Amino acid sequence: MKTFPALLALLLVAVAAEAVCAAGLIPTPEFAGHPIPTAEHPDPVARLPLRDWLDVAAMAGGIALASYFALRRRTRRGLFLLAVVSLVWLGFWRKGCICPIGAIQNVTLALFDRSYAVPAAAVVMFVLPLLATLFFGRTFCAAVCPLGAVQELAAVRPIRVPVWLDHALGLLAYVYLGAAVLFAATGSAFVICRYDPFVGLFRLSAGLNMLILSGALLVLGMFVGRPYCRYLCPYGAILGWLAHLSRRHVRIPPEECIQCRLCEESCPYGAIREPTVTPPAGKLRRGRRRLVVALGLLPVLIAAGAMLGRRLQAPLASVHPTVQLAERLWLESRGLVEGSTEASEAFRNSGRPPESLYAEARTLSHRIGLAGGWLGAWVGLVFGGKLIHLAIRRRRTGYQPDPARCVACGRCFWYCPGEQARRGWIAGIAQKSAATTNEPLGG
Amino acid sequence: MTEIINDRNIDRRGFVSGCARVLGAVGLGGLASALALRKGRAVDEVWQIEPDRCIACDKCQTHCVLDVSAVKCVQCFALCGYCDVCTGYFPTKYDALDTGAENQLCPTGAITRKFIDRNGPTRYFEYTIDESLCIACGKCVTGCRLMNGSLYLQVRHDRCLNCNECSIAVACPTQAFRRVPASRPNLLGRAAHEAQEALARRGVAAGRVPCLPSARSETAGMSAARSCPRQAWAWHPAGPLRKPGAPAEARQA
């Protein structure tokens, strides 16, 4: 019996995989009464798709309900409660991931890297609010997006941001969108997720920097309504763009505007635009000239942006981990930095020649540089587009929310005397027009 | 045409924006279906560690968004030498070869050491990870690599939140973190894979193991995984997958 394990060991040497022996490993013994166990691996297959589709269903239901509350029922209370539910479900329970904002990057990466398998749930999550916005305005932002919801709750004492500052800061979101697409397309990073200010709050764990950013944005959000949504959110930039085309979006007076201006102060997001007056002829001419200048400036801005963006190759590329590693290795090999990092140490141990890494980093860097040109052109286009947008004169007969800026929070409903008459809280104001139309809720 | 538009109470602006809306909706729908129906690509993905790239630094322990990391240490028993003096269990300086806390490398005592058999003076012990205690510090993994390297780190999918941008992946110094299809959610190192296969061959020869890993071919997705009761089988990363964005030559190297 004593010779049995020895025999087994011999047998093992004979049949064990070549590499096990070649690498000088200690052979695994074979025991007579003890089979070699195998580690248990928890399986995500049965769990993941169901959970993801549940989220998608929750989001679809949420958008439908938010649209119903904002456009049909016109109830701020309903929207507020829905926002709280979304915050708890998509935010705290599902930890705010994956969300449509982050899904921009998944879709971008899938478009640029054919080997990347984008989850179907991420695509649906990306497209669903966009489609809804085409038809109902930004009701997703109103009460479904957990990031919007947390800021909606934080906005306790909002002040009015000067219009020029509001316009200028609003451009940041487009720049952020362009940068996020660039980094996702080149496989560098998912910056939207990395710098998502509220996901740390949802998970109740974050690094110190993100904690500071999150806290700062929340405190700022008490006085400046929804700072992330208005000035940073890249998805909000796309939604605002699509909301211009929306079939129906929130309007303040249920019928005719009596121009009482009560709603104007109620909007914490500066989204309500006053009625226009026909300017005198001289001003009209100046406005037209401004539009021509803006149109002429557009290609100049795009070209200038592309040239500037091309020069950003080094800082943009340094976000990519491979480029980072190559730079570090190069510096170490030239003796320009002392010591080594875990990454460079591991690379040396891998036995791969540094030249191949340098070549790969150069290719990546070049690609990112080209993408930087596109990013610059995009920023130029955004700036030029803004100038044109500002130069175009619009006609508004009553106080109306700007569909791109309005997140359908429903605060202004309460302030409108027409709305109060519709609900029967006050009498008289809207009776005249109520007699003329049968459907008081027309979008 | 004008009359039709007038009849339906639509002005020119409304008509143009209506057209743009329909175009936008069709475009978005097209984009979604093109991405979702891309051949064999619409699968869910999860994060996993490639053991051969992992250097077992402590980033997994400290950078996960969960309080206790979703990464755990896993024992590949088929590669384990069942050593008495286990370099993954004992620190380089130990007082005695016993299970006293001062003699353990693991800071949380997550490894259980169980006597299995002896062959003359040689004793064999089985080392099992208690995942409820493991904090993914990787100390045992680096220790074990002095010998067989049968201990390795893996993302546990029942714990992982599957963040869109994994915080550990960002911090990982060797880019060992990557997305893998949810149907093949675990990765094995090359040595562990070969040991596992050798063990399975022996098992089949002895009529013990009900199925061979080769029954789960590259393309066999969930069905093969389900049919095999030893789901434990992990997959060696020699397949066509790579970290998103990493050029092909990076993988070959």
DSSP letters for A160-199: PPPHHHHHHHHHHHHHHHHHHHHHHHTTS--HHHHT-TTH
Verify that A206 and A303 share a domain, yes or no.
Answer: no
If one counts the domains in chain A, the total is 2
Mean pLDDT of chain A: 87
How confident is residue B250, by pLDDT bands cut at 50, 70 and 90? very low
**Burial class, A318, CB count within 10 angstroms (exposed 0-12 / middle 13-18 / buried 19+):** middle
- Reported in sequence order, the residue ranges of A176-279 that DSSP labels E, i.e. its strands, are 272-273
* Cβ–Cβ gap B244/A109 under 8 Å: yes
Verify that A319 and A290 share a domain, yes or no.
Answer: yes
As a whole number, mean pLDDT of residues A202-225 equals 91
How confident is residue A439, by pLDDT bands cut at 50, 70 and 90? very low
Distance from CA of A221 to the nearest CA of B (A): 25
**Is residue A240, in this structure, part of any structural domain at all?**
yes
Domain ranges of chain B: 48-179, 180-237
**Is residue A86, in this structure, part of any structural domain at all?**
yes
Verify that A351 and A214 share a domain, yes or no.
Answer: no
For residue A302, whether the previous peptide bond is cis, meaning omega lies within 30 degrees of 0, is no
How many residues in chain A? 443
Angle among Cα A1, B126, B186 to the nearest 5 degrees reads 125
Verify that A227 and A116 share a domain, yes or no.
Answer: yes
* Cβ–Cβ gap A48/B182 under 8 Å: yes
Q: With pLDDT > 70 as the criterion, what percentage of chain A qualifies?
A: 90
Verify that A93 and A209 share a domain, yes or no.
Answer: yes
B222: pLDDT strictly greater than 60:
no
Residues 50-79 of B with CB under 8 A from A: 53, 55, 57, 65-67, 74-79
Verify that A331 and A376 share a domain, yes or no.
Answer: yes
As a whole number, mean pLDDT of residues A307-320 equals 95
Chain A hits for B164, Cβ within 8 Å = 97-98, 102-103, 105-106, 122, 190, 193
- The reply to whether the predicted model has a pTM over 0.95 is no
Verify that A235 and A291 share a domain, yes or no.
Answer: no
* Predicted pLDDT at A419: 87
* Predicted pLDDT at A180: 97
**Is residue A34, in this structure, part of any structural domain at all?**
no
**Is residue A167, in this structure, part of any structural domain at all?**
yes
Verify that A382 and A420 share a domain, yes or no.
Answer: no
**pLDDT of B18-65, one tens digit each?**
899 999 999 999 998 888 777 655 567 889 999 999 999 989 999 998
Question: Cα(first)–Cα(last) distance of chain A, in Å?
Answer: 90
Place of tokens 């909002």: A158
Verify that A58 and A192 share a domain, yes or no.
Answer: yes
Residues 221-240 of B with CB under 8 A from A: 222, 225, 230-234, 240
State whether CATH 3.30.1490 applies to domain B48-179: no
Report the range of poorest mean pLDDT among A115-119, A228-232, A430-434, B94-98.
A430-434
Mean pLDDT of chain B: 78
**Is residue A205, in this structure, part of any structural domain at all?**
yes
**Is residue A233, in this structure, part of any structural domain at all?**
yes
| Whole-angstrom distance, CA of residue A39 vs CA of residue A61 | 41
B204 touches chain A (CB under 8 A): no
Place of tokens 């997550």: B110
The SS3 call for residue B2 is helix
* Predicted pLDDT at B9: 61
**Is residue A6, in this structure, part of any structural domain at all?**
no
**pLDDT of A362-410, one tens digit each?**
999 999 999 999 999 999 999 999 999 999 888 888 888 999 999 999 9
**pLDDT of A280-293, one tens digit each?**
888 888 989 999 99
**pLDDT of A247-277, one tens digit each?**
888 888 877 888 888 888 889 998 998 888 8
Residue A337 CA: distances (Å) to CA of A330, A341, A365, B250: 9, 11, 22, 25
The SS3 call for residue A62 is helix
* Predicted pLDDT at B132: 94
**Is residue A38, in this structure, part of any structural domain at all?**
no
B214: pLDDT strictly greater than 80:
no
Verify that A263 and A288 share a domain, yes or no.
Answer: no
Verify that A385 and A413 share a domain, yes or no.
Answer: no
The whole domain housing A344 covers 281-391
A118: pLDDT strictly greater than 90:
no
The SS3 call for residue A149 is helix
| Whole-angstrom distance, CA of residue A227 vs CA of residue A93 | 24
Verify that A198 and A342 share a domain, yes or no.
Answer: no
DSSP letters for A324-384: HHHHHHHHHHTT-S-S--HHHHHHHHHT--HHHHHHHHHHHHHHHHHHHHHHHHHHHHHHH
How confident is residue B92, by pLDDT bands cut at 50, 70 and 90? confident
* Cβ–Cβ gap B44/A119 under 8 Å: yes
